[in-house]
Amino acid sequence: MDAKQEFAGILQRVWSKLLSLPQATPLESGAFSILVLFIGNPSHPVPFWSVTPPP
């Protein structure tokens, strides 16, 4: 499987999750929102609380 097909598969799974969000429980909605926030923010690849402050 090449990268284009793999990316298309990932997008398809994300799209199906988005379509099912109206029927999701609050816990599922919250978990999905957190994942989207961390994936959608490439300038901070790790959570801000795990980064050590500069000296």
Give me the residue spans of the domains in the chain: 3-50
Tell me the per-residue pLDDT of 18-34, one tens digit each, with 9 for 90 and over.
Answer: 787 778 788 888 888 88
DSSP output for the chain = --HHHHHHHHHHHHHHHHHHGGGS-HHHHHHHHHHHHHHT-TT--S-GGGSPPP-
pTM of the complete model: 0.44
Tell me the per-residue pLDDT of 30-40, one tens digit each, with 9 for 90 and over.
Answer: 888 888 777 76
Share of the chain above pLDDT 90, in %: 0
Who wins on pLDDT, 6 or 48? 6
Among 25, 47, 43, 20, which residue's Cα sits nearest to residue 34?
47
pLDDT at residue 51 greater than cutoff 60: no
Token pair in block for residue 28: 């599922």
Contacts (Cβ under 8 Å, ≥6 apart) of 28: 21
